[in-house]
Amino acid sequence: MHPRNLYNQPPDFLALANSHPPLLPYIVQTANGPTIDFKSQDALRHLTQALLYKDFSLNVQLPVDRLCPPIPNRLNYILWIQDILDPFHSAPAIAVRGIDIGTGASCIYPLLGCRMSPSWKFIATEIDPLSFECASVNVASNELHSRIHLHKALHHEPILSPLLGSDTFDFTMCNPPFYSSREEIEKSTLEKEFSPSAVCTGADTEMITPGGESAFVRRMVTESLTYRTKCRWFTSMLGKLSSLTDVVNSLRENNVENYAITELVQGQTRRWAIGWSFGDERLPDSVSRISNQSLHGLMPPHNTIRQPLGSADGAVALQKLRQALSATEGIIATQERTDPDRVTIGLAATGNTWSRAARRKKLKAPSGDTSQRTTSPPVALMCQVTLSHELEFNWVRGRDRALFESFCNHISRKVASKPSS
């Protein structure tokens, strides 16, 4: 469960049912106290409605023959999107525009997203007429029509059709139809028959797509190649590990190395989410990677590099860091923050000025030669250096991985070096 997830502690089911009486008949007593019957579709629907009302002031209709979204899991995905958009929790809230592909009858992601992030706006697509109608009612009854625009998707359109227009977006999100056929659903239901997991109330139209979720998301990857600059981050949830492998392979085949993976865990259920970008924003490993050994081969390259400081004195290390930064020409410190146990410095560089080759070239250049440059060169690297018991570099922006790694090596060597006598 995401650390900011409200449901890290299970709810008080009895208090919840008292505040939403339709849930009361589904309360069951166990040795661990009151809970609800997770095998009952009605109980799950009332639980979702009760949580949305109590914790998010949302009034939501959920038709009996459409998917009932489990809130903790949906919240996990939204929280990860928040992390992707502002990985260092530093930016002031500016307008953020998202697209939810296949919003469902509940319209769950846009509703939750708008309640959690006051600056978010959505275009939500839906192909199933019944779900589309119900989603419209849910948007209207929560007075969110100025922030959530519903788009009726058509089979012959691209999945990412809202990107056909001139608008640009910050993210796309999607909980794709999961299965490839009715037979696959039946096989999976049979396998789960004796497991304690919750029942699934989805209709065939929302659960089945040709080739299953893997094909759906790979289609999104292919489409995103056309809309590269129209959206900062493309993302999707995935329910099967094999789909995650397929999508990572598809990204790698298309030379997309700027991607991120997270695990969404709720009780017994494990899902994954994947995001990819054609921009130069880089995410820290804490957002882009999970430390699950069995998934190691699927992870994106590291954007966080750590250098232990051993027994080095913190104050001396900080002094050396400052010296190294001020002695490296072309590095600009953009901001600094001091916390009780760490100092974080934001840095920008226009290129490699620290390598031996760069310094030699500079020495050879006639003094005062600015090569007729009238404007300063663009920033090629932005990173954050944090000094605590270790030195941590987080890549923030840039396209040149070798430049980032070379910078980390240069500063690490300077900070770890013994003082010259």
CB of 371 to ligand SAH, least distance (A): 52
Q: Which range touches ligand SAH (CB under 6 A), out of 1-9, 122-130, 256-264, 391-399?
A: 122-130
> Residue 223: enclosing H or E segment and its boundaries?
helix 212-224
Q: Which of 83, 128, 213, 392 binds ligand SAH (CB under 6 A)?
A: 128
Within 13 Å, how many C-alpha atoms sit on residue 373's CB side? Answer: 8
- Asked whether position 175 contacts ligand SAH by CB under 6 A, the answer is yes
> Residue 385: enclosing H or E segment and its boundaries?
strand 381-387
- Contacts of ligand SAH in 189-248 (CB under 6 A): 205-206, 209
Q: Which range touches ligand SAH (CB under 6 A), out of 27-35, 120-128, 138-146, 326-334?
A: 120-128
- Asked whether position 69 contacts ligand SAH by CB under 6 A, the answer is yes
- Asked whether position 412 contacts ligand SAH by CB under 6 A, the answer is no
Distance CA 408, CA 385 (A): 9
CB of 177 to ligand SAH, least distance (A): 5
Q: Which of 83, 126, 170, 213 binds ligand SAH (CB under 6 A)?
A: 126
Is residue 298 packed enough to be buried (19+ CB in 10 Å), middle (13-18) or exposed (0-12)? buried
Q: Which is nearer to ligand SAH, 44 or 127 (CB)?
A: 127
The residue among 143, 124, 118, 132 whose CA lies nearest residue 58 is 143
Q: Which range touches ligand SAH (CB under 6 A), out of 106-114, 275-283, 353-361, 368-376?
A: 106-114
> Which residue number has the CB closest to ligand SAH?
102
CA 77 to chain centre: 7
Give residue 167's identity as a one-letter amino acid code: D
CB of 42 to ligand SAH, least distance (A): 17
- Asked whether position 50 contacts ligand SAH by CB under 6 A, the answer is no
Q: Which of 103, 142, 235, 412 binds ligand SAH (CB under 6 A)?
A: 103
Q: Which is nearer to ligand SAH, 124 or 387 (CB)?
A: 124
The conformational region for residue 255 under phi > 0 = left, psi -120 to 50 = alpha, else beta, is left
First-residue to last-residue Cα distance in the chain: 52
Within 13 Å, how many C-alpha atoms sit on residue 365's CB side? Answer: 12
What are the respective helix, strand and coil percentages of the chain, to the nearest 5? Answer: 40, 25, 40
Q: Which of 104, 162, 212, 300 binds ligand SAH (CB under 6 A)?
A: 104
- Asked whether position 67 contacts ligand SAH by CB under 6 A, the answer is yes
Q: Which range touches ligand SAH (CB under 6 A), out of 7-15, 126-134, 193-201, 255-263?
A: 126-134
- Asked whether position 415 contacts ligand SAH by CB under 6 A, the answer is no
CB of 126 to ligand SAH, least distance (A): 5
Q: Which of 11, 72, 87, 102 binds ligand SAH (CB under 6 A)?
A: 102
Give residue 92's identity as a one-letter amino acid code: P
CB of 143 to ligand SAH, least distance (A): 21
Is residue 178 packed enough to be buried (19+ CB in 10 Å), middle (13-18) or exposed (0-12)? buried
CB of 198 to ligand SAH, least distance (A): 13
**Count of positions on this chain that bind ligand SAH (CB under 6 A):** 21
CA 224 to chain centre: 17
Q: Which is nearer to ligand SAH, 272 or 354 (CB)?
A: 272
CA distances from 219 to 152, 160, 212, 252, 398 (A): 19, 9, 11, 14, 27
Q: Which of 44, 51, 96, 108 binds ligand SAH (CB under 6 A)?
A: 108
Strands (DSSP E) found in 223-370: 231-238, 259-266, 269-276, 304-308, 331-339, 342-349
CA distances from 94 to 113, 116, 118, 119, 172 (A): 14, 14, 9, 6, 17
| Residue reference for tokens 């404007």 | 375
Q: Which of 5, 48, 82, 131 binds ligand SAH (CB under 6 A)?
A: 131
Q: Which is nearer to ligand SAH, 86 or 157 (CB)?
A: 157
CB of 139 to ligand SAH, least distance (A): 14
- Asked whether position 273 contacts ligand SAH by CB under 6 A, the answer is no
Residues 6 or more apart whose Cβ sits within 8 Å of residue 397: 280, 281, 282, 379, 381, 382
Q: Which is nearer to ligand SAH, 121 or 282 (CB)?
A: 121
* Interface with ligand SAH (CB under 6 A): 67, 69, 101-104, 106, 108-109, 125-128, 131, 153, 159, 175, 177, 205-206, 209
